[in-house]
């Protein structure tokens, strides 16, 4: 076994690998960029090496720096995690050329599966069913469009080098094909530097079921059952589970056999996942699943497999890479209970899932039997625009699906995060959805129910009361001339009524709060002595610069603590503008100055976090100003300004 390894990754997966290495008595070396200098993975590792500036292209993707760091620290092997260099065969070659071990499959196995078109051709030969479609060499639009027609709409255009759901477009009819192709190619070029695509039949009522496989360097291959990842949004996984709901013995046997055959066809060693798309329009049928792609690495959702098999997949990766045989034979691997994983992201579900950034001023994760949290952040850490905005994975395990799902709902309700917008309420709504709870999930479920799943609970007076009380404390801290005076007691300090102004969306609510000598709080809406009295509330709150967040079940309500000067400014500058919701690049502009546009009309496409986001008109209007194509914008930059709408004046006043 190795005595020291380097982890060429960051965030939760770097922390995850370090934990197993430590358990096995293996020393660890972390690498980090400028933005990650004080990151959790750096703190957890025995040693850490700085590899460059924050952008991934200057740090985590620079193979030479990572290999140099391994050599300099005497690490014998490199674990790539997922993403970054994990599926880059040239990196594997370079690692081996430097006399180090790559903890993963051979470069040739990665090459065989790296491009979706070539992988499908190879799997066809190996007798594995593949998704019907065109995966040939021709890339001219006439060829692709005519293949699409042959395959029959709807079709799915996919970047052959794609990953993470990027460079993928579902097309429902021939008219939409050229635009979808152009957009898929643009995204593919930007994300993968390769704009070649394949075209597939879009499978009906699709379910994504994948099989975890494991090979060693002695020719053994086993599977560790399946995971269901059908709960997806824009082809990205949201909640995963194992085993797949409704799985039958016949279907499982067919899928795991095909997966093992696929791995054997490329003499696979290490952890890998064979992803299948399943037509679930008539239940799970052994002749209705097809190979989509193989991920030649550890998967984000690997913990659900660990929970139901009791296997530490990272430990197996290290053993296999060190040349040991697989620790278990197929017969020794069995399923125990059910597990879920929910991906907690800094994103605004209610605003079309815009990725968010921010400092996680307050962070509380759930704990308890059957609950596992994988994270790479602590309270005070920032979600930066440089990396994937995942905050944590909440994993639960129960004796059966219902128990595991109930535990997931509880775990989500016990999660408190303030400082960034988080998708907790969306995940909770999905976990509570009737179809999801029944195991009736296809990849379109989230899109069909998006409005209901992302509806925000309106703040109630109990939330306002809790926020006002917490906000009063902020003011107290700020105004206290003597820092020790706050120790004299809340009651004493607030003896005179205090005005609190909270920002709720676009509105400001004023409160009058006073605390009697006995500590009783008197809280009224409005400025006057009269105001409506509201009952104080003891919901948990978190205070952070300029804000208060109130937690209530799986919902959280964030209020700004109004600063009178800032308010005045916002009112006078309150022009009718659309601002960039996050930093990004203006990719396409679809409207011109002077043009009359309708509510909902796409105005421009903003590329941020490697994804394209369409910005639509919030109302009818005339464009007064619009950003130009290629412009780099930060959040808050005005993208579109509308002409002021003149109030129609009564005719008698004219002239
Ligand atoms: P999984 O099935 O494990 O979720 P994904 O394909 O969604 O696999 O990708 C896993 C992670 O790797 C994602 O979080 C994504 O950010 C990252 N990733 C995937 N492909 C790429 C890529 N080409 N470049 C950079 N990161 C990628
Ligand atoms: P990526 O490399 O981005 O993970 P995949 O080929 O695995 O790309 O596809 C991502 C997701 O898109 C799948 O999980 C599935 O939900 C959906 N998908 C892919 N191919 C098809 C298809 N032919 N029909 C319907 N949905 C598909
Ligand atoms: Mg995939």
Residue 422 token pair: 């988080």
The mean pLDDT value for 109-128 works out to 95
Better pLDDT: 263 or 620? 263
The number of beta carbons lying within 10 Å of the beta carbon of residue 89 is 19
User: Can you read off the two tokens belonging to residue 526?
Assistant: 């409005």
- Ligand 2 closest atom vs CA 133: 23
pLDDT computed for residue 196 by the predictor: 97
Beta pairing class for 547-552 and 221-233: unpaired
The DSSP-derived string for 525-548 is ESSSSS--EE------EEEETTEE
C-beta separation of 427 from 446 below 8 A:
no
User: Lowest-pLDDT range, 116-130, 166-180, 561-575, 588-602?
Assistant: 561-575
Q: Indicate which residue's Cα is closest to atom 18 of ligand 1.
A: 83
Instruction: Find the ligand nearest to 131 CA.
Output: 2
Q: Kindly state the average pLDDT of the residues 526-549.
A: 81
> Ligand 2, residues 159, 292, 441, 446: which to mutate, most atoms within 8 A of Cβ?
292
192 lines ligand 1 (CB under 6 A): yes
pLDDT at 61 over 50: yes
**pLDDT computed for residue 479 by the predictor:** 38
60 lines ligand 1 (CB under 6 A): no
Q: Outline which parts of the chain fall under CATH 3.30.470.20.
A: 106-131+209-336, 340-456
Ligand 1 and 105: CB distance under 6 A? no
Predicted pLDDT at 229: 98
478 has a pLDDT exceeding 60: no
300, 355, 390, best to mutate for ligand 1 pocket (most atoms within 8 Å of CB): 300
Distance 144 CA to ligand 2 centre (A): 18
Digit-coded pLDDT (tens) for 360-395 = 999 999 999 999 999 999 999 999 999 999 999 999
Q: Which atom of ligand 2 is nearest to the CA of 203?
A: 24
Question: Is the distance from the beta carbon of residue 82 to the nearest atom of ligand 1 less than 6 Å?
Answer: yes
Q: Return d(Cα 604, Cα 424) in angstroms, integer.
A: 29
The best mutation among 168, 235, 281 to test binding of ligand 2, ranked by most ligand atoms within 8 Å of the C-beta, falls on: 235
Determine phi and psi for 14, rounding to 5 degrees: -65, -45
Across 508-537, average pLDDT: 77
Euclidean distance between CA atoms 12 and 376, whole angstroms: 4
Q: Percent of the chain scored above 90 by pLDDT?
A: 72
**ω into residue 243 within 30 of 0, thus cis?**
yes
Distance 207 CA to ligand 2 centre (A): 10
DSSP string spanning 287-331? TSEEEEEEE-S--TTHHHHHHHH---HHHHHHHHHTTPPPSS-GG
Residues 410 and 431 sit within 8 Å (Cβ to Cβ): no
CB of 246 closer than 6 angstroms to any ligand 1 atom = no
Distance 394 CA to ligand 2 centre (A): 23
Query: Within the chain, which residue ranges are assigned CATH 2.40.50.100?
Result: 564-653
The mean pLDDT value for 178-205 works out to: 95
**pTM of the prediction?**
0.84
Ligand number with the minimum distance to the CA of 167:
2
Is the distance from CB of 199 to CB of 157 less than 8 angstroms? yes
Of the candidates 294, 159, 165, 161, the one whose C-alpha atom is nearest the C-alpha of residue 236 is 165
Ligand 2 centroid to 318 CA: how many Å? 29
Is pLDDT above 80 for 456?
yes
Rounded CA-CA distance 402/410 in Å is: 12
The helix/strand/coil state of 441 is: coil
- The pLDDT assigned to 637 comes to 77
Residues 6+ apart with CB under 8 A from 106: 92, 267, 269
Where does CATH 3.30.1490.20 sit in the chain?
A: 135-201
Span 465-474, average pLDDT: 83
Nearest CA to ligand 2 atom 11: 235
Which atom of ligand 1 lies closest to the CA of 237? 4
What pLDDT does 510 receive?
Answer: 87
402: pLDDT strictly greater than 50:
yes
Q: Which CATH number fits domain 340-456: 3.40.50.1220, 3.30.930.10, 3.30.470.20, 2.60.40.1180?
A: 3.30.470.20
Q: Rounded to the nearest whole angstrom, what is the distance from the C-alpha of residue 232 to the centroid of ligand 2? A: 10
Would you say residue 111 has pLDDT above 70? yes
Predicted pLDDT of residue 647:
44
- pLDDT in the model for residue 446: 98
Predicted confidence band of residue 177 (pLDDT cuts 50, 70, 90): very high
- Quote the CA–CA distance of 137 and 547 in Å, as a whole number: 55
**Is 296 close to ligand 1, i.e. is its CB under 6 Å away?**
no
| pLDDT above 50 (res 513) | yes
Which residue from 630, 605, 627, 632 is spatially nearest to 616, judged by alpha carbons? Answer: 605
Q: 106-131+209-336 adopts what CATH topology?
A: D-amino Acid Aminotransferase; Chain A, domain 1 (3.30.470)
Q: Which atom of ligand 2 is nearest to the CA of 229?
A: 14
Look up residue 141 and give its two tokens: 């639009």
What the block records as the tokens of 441 is 């999930």
The residue among 567 and 210 whose pLDDT is bigger is: 210
Average pLDDT rounded to a whole number, residues 435-449 = 97
Taking all residues of the chain, what is their mean pLDDT, rounded to a whole number?
89
Q: Which ligand does the CA of 279 lie closest to?
A: 2
Q: How far apart are CA 17 and CA 28, in angstroms?
A: 9
Indicate which atom in ligand 1 lies nearest the CA of residue 191: 23
Confidence category of residue 563, pLDDT binned at 50, 70, 90: low
Percent of the chain residues topping a pLDDT of 70: 90
Q: Dihedral sign, CA of 129, 131, 134, 137?
A: negative
**Closest residue by Cα to residue 122 from 221, 254, 261, 223:** 261
Residue 495's pLDDT is 53
415: Cβ below 6 Å to ligand 1?
no
The total number of residues shown for the chain amounts to 655
pLDDT of residue 94: 98
Q: How many helices (H) and strands (E) does the chain have?
A: 19, 38
Q: What confidence category does residue 619 fall into, taking pLDDT thresholds of 50, 70 and 90?
A: confident
Ligand 1 within 6 A of 280 CB? no
Q: Give the SS3 label for residue 610.
A: coil
User: Domain 564-653 is of which CATH architecture?
Assistant: Beta Barrel (2.40)
Residues 171 and 90 sit within 8 Å (Cβ to Cβ)? no
Fold for the domain defined by 135-201: Dna Ligase; domain 1 (3.30.1490)
- DSSP conformation letters of 155-177: EEEEETT--TTTTEEEE-SGGGH
Q: Whose CA is nearest to atom 22 of ligand 2?
A: 202
Q: What is the pLDDT of residues 307-323, one digit of tens each?
A: 999 999 999 999 999 99
Q: What is the pLDDT of residues 65-93, one digit of tens each?
A: 999 999 999 999 999 999 999 999 999 99
Distance 504 CA to ligand 2 centre (A): 39
pLDDT tens, position by position, 638-655: 888 888 765 443 333 332
Which segments of the chain belong to CATH 3.40.50.20? 4-103
Ligand 1 atom 20: the closest Cα is on which residue?
163
- 300 ligand 1 Cβ < 6 A: yes
What pLDDT is stored for residue 455 in this prediction? Answer: 94
Pocket test of ligand 1: the residue of 163, 211, 299 to mutate, having most ligand atoms within 8 Å of its CB, is 163
* Ligand 2 pocket, Cβ-based, cut-off 6 angstroms: 131, 156, 158, 162-165, 200-203, 206, 208, 232, 235, 275, 277, 292-293, 443
CB atoms within 10 A of CB 634: 11
Is residue 593 pLDDT above 80, yes or no? yes
**pLDDT of the residue at 545:** 81
Q: Which of 347-356, 437-446, 451-460 has the highest mean pLDDT?
A: 437-446
Residue 509 Cα to ligand 2 middle (Å): 47
What is the β-pairing status of strands 221-233 and 289-295? unpaired
Q: Is 237 a pocket residue for ligand 1 (Cβ < 6 Å)?
A: yes
Among all bound ligands, the one having the nearest atom to the CA of 197 is 2
Q: Please report which confidence band the pLDDT of residue 28 belongs to, taking 50, 70 and 90 as the band edges.
A: very high
Q: How far is the CA of 141 from the centre of ligand 3 (A)?
A: 25
- Residue identifier of the C-alpha nearest atom 6 of ligand 1: 164
Task: Assign 487 a pLDDT band (cuts: 50, 70, 90).
Answer: very low
Which band of pLDDT confidence, cut at 50, 70 and 90, is reported for residue 635?
A: low
Structure tokens at 567: 């308010």
Q: Check pLDDT > 50 for residue 566.
A: no
Gap from CA of 236 to ligand 1 centroid (Å): 9
Question: Does 164 contact ligand 1 (Cβ within 6 A)?
Answer: yes
Q: What pLDDT does 189 receive?
A: 95
Reported as a pLDDT band with limits 50, 70 and 90, residue 574 is: very low
pLDDT at 18 over 50: yes
* Between 215 and 530, the higher pLDDT residue: 215
Which pLDDT value is given to residue 549? 95
| 625, 603 Cβ separation under 8 angstroms | no
Distance 116 CA to ligand 3 centre (A): 10
Query: What distance in Å separates the CA atoms of residue 274 and residue 272, rounded to the nearest whole number?
Result: 7
Strands 577-579 and 638-642: antiparallel
Q: Is the CB of 163 under 6 A from ligand 1?
A: yes
Q: Whose CA is nearest to atom 13 of ligand 1?
A: 164
Q: What is the pLDDT of residue 522?
A: 80
Which residues contact residue 271 at a Cβ distance below 8 angstroms, ignoring those fewer than 6 apart? 104, 212, 213, 214, 297, 298, 299, 302, 313, 316, 317
Q: Looking at residues 27-38, what average pLDDT do you find?
A: 97
Q: Which fold has domain 4-103?
A: Rossmann fold (3.40.50)
**Which residues are tagged catalytic?**
297
Structure confidence at residue 509 (pLDDT) = 86
Ligand nearest to the CA of 209: 2
Question: What is the pLDDT at residue 565?
Answer: 39
Most ligand 2 atoms within 8 A of CB, residue of 165, 192, 441, 442 to mutate = 165
């Amino acid at each position: 076994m190795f005595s020291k390894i380097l982890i060429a990754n960051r965030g939760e997966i770097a922390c995850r690998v370090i934990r197993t290495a430590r358990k096995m008595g293996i020393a660890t070396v972390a690498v980090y960029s400028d933005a990650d200098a004080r990151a959790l993975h750096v703190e957890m590792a025995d040693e850490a090496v700085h590899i460059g500036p924050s952008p991934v292209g200057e740090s985590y993707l620079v193979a030479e720096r990572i290999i140099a760091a391994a050599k300099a620290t005497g690490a014998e092997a490199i674990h790539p995690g997922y993403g970054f260099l994990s599926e880059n065969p040239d990196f594997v070659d370079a690692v081996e050329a430097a006399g180090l071990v790559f903890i993963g499959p051979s470069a040739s196995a990665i090459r065989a599966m790296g491009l979706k078109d070539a992988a499908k051709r190879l799997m066809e030969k190996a007798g594995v069913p593949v998704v019907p479609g065109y995966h040939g060499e021709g890339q001219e639009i006439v060829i692709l469009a005519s293949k699409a027609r042959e395959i029959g709409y709807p079709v799915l255009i996919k970047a052959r080098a794609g990953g993470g759901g990027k460079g993928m477009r579902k097309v429902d009819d021939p008219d939409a094909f050229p635009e979808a192709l152009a957009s898929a190619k643009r995204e593919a070029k930007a994300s993968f530097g390769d704009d070649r695509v394949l075209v597939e039949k879009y499978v009906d009522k699709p379910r994504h079921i994948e099989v975890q496989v494991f090979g060693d360097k002695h020719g053994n291959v086993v599977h560790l059952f399946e995971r269901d990842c059908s709960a997806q949004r824009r082809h990205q996984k949201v909640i995963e589970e194992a085993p797949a709901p409704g799985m039958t013995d016949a279907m499982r046997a067919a899928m795991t056999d095909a997966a093992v055959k696929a791995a054997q066809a490329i003499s696979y060693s290490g952890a890998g996942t064979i992803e299948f798309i399943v037509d679930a329009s008539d239940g799970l049928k052994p002749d209705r699943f097809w190979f989509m792609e193989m991920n030649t690495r550890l998967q984000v959702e690997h913990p659900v497999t660990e929970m139901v098999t009791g296997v530490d997949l990272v430990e197996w990766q290290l053993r296999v890479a060190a040349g040991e045989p697989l620790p278990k034979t197929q017969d020794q691997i069995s399923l125990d209970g059910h597990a879920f994983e929910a991906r907690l992201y800094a994103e605004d579900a209610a605003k079309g899932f815009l990725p968010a950034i921010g400092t996680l001023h307050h962070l509380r994760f759930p704990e308890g039997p059957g609950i596992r949290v994988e994270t790479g952040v602590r309270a005070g850490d920032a979600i930066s625009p440089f990396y994937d905005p995942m905050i944590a994975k909440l994993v639960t395990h129960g004796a059966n699906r219902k128990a595991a799902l109930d535990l997931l709902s509880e775990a989500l309700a016990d999660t408190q995060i303030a400082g960034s917008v988080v998708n907790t309420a969306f995940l909770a709504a999905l976990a509570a959805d009737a179809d999801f709870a029944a195991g009736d999930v296809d990849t379109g479920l989230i899109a069909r129910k998006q409005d209901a799943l992302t509806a925000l609970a309106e703040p109630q007076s109990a939330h306002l009361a809790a926020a006002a009380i917490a906000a009063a404390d902020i003011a107290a801290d700020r105004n206290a001339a003597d820092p020790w005076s706050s120790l004299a007691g809340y009651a004493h300090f607030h003896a005179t009524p205090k005005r609190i102004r909270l920002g709720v969306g676009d509105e400001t609510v004023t409160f009058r709060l006073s605390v009697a000598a006995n500590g009783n709080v008197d809280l009224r809406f409005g400025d006057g002595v009269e105001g409506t009295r509201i009952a104080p509330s003891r919901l948990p709150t978190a205070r952070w610069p300029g804000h208060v967040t109130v937690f209530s079940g799986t919902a959280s309500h964030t209020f700004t603590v109004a600063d009178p000067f800032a308010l005045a400014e916002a009112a006078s500058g309150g022009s009718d503008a659309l601002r960039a919701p996050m930093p990004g690049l203006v990719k396409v502009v679809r409207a011109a100055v002077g043009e009359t546009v309708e509510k909902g009309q796409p105005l421009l496409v903003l590329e941020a976090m490697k994804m394209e986001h369409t910005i639509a008109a919030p109302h009818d209007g005339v464009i007064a100003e619009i950003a130009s194509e290629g412009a780099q914008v930060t959040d808050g930059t005005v993208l579109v300004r509308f002409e002021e709408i003149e109030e129609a004046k009564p005719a008698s006043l004219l002239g």
